[in-house]
């Protein structure tokens, strides 16, 4: 599960990083930030997912 999540996250980051930041909406920026935090702190994801 963790490996699959990481692979998907990397794909998203690569795709999003290719775009201009100005094109991001506030919601997209929050989503990307959340994904980055989940990637860096996977334990928090499991704590909050209960």
pLDDT tens per residue across span 2-48: 567 678 877 877 777 766 555 557 777 788 888 777 777 666 556 66
pLDDT value of position 25:
73
DSSP 6-50: HHHHHHHHHHHHTS-GGG--HHHHHHHHHHHHHHH-HHHHHHHT-
pLDDT value of position 49:
59
Q: State the total domains in the chain.
A: 1
pLDDT value of position 44:
57
Buried b (16+ CB within 10 A) or exposed e, 11-43: eeeeebeeeeeeeeeeeeeeebeebeebbeeee
Question: What is the span of the domain harbouring residue 29?
Answer: 2-48
pLDDT value of position 45:
56
pLDDT value of position 8:
81
Residue 49: enclosing H or E segment and its boundaries? none
pLDDT value of position 9:
76
């Amino acid at each position: 599960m963790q490996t699959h999540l990481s692979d998907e996250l990397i794909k998203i980051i690569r795709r999003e990083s290719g775009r201009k930041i100005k094109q991001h909406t506030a919601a997209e920026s929050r989503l990307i930030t959340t994904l980055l935090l989940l990637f860096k702190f996977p334990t928090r994801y499991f704590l909050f997912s209960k």
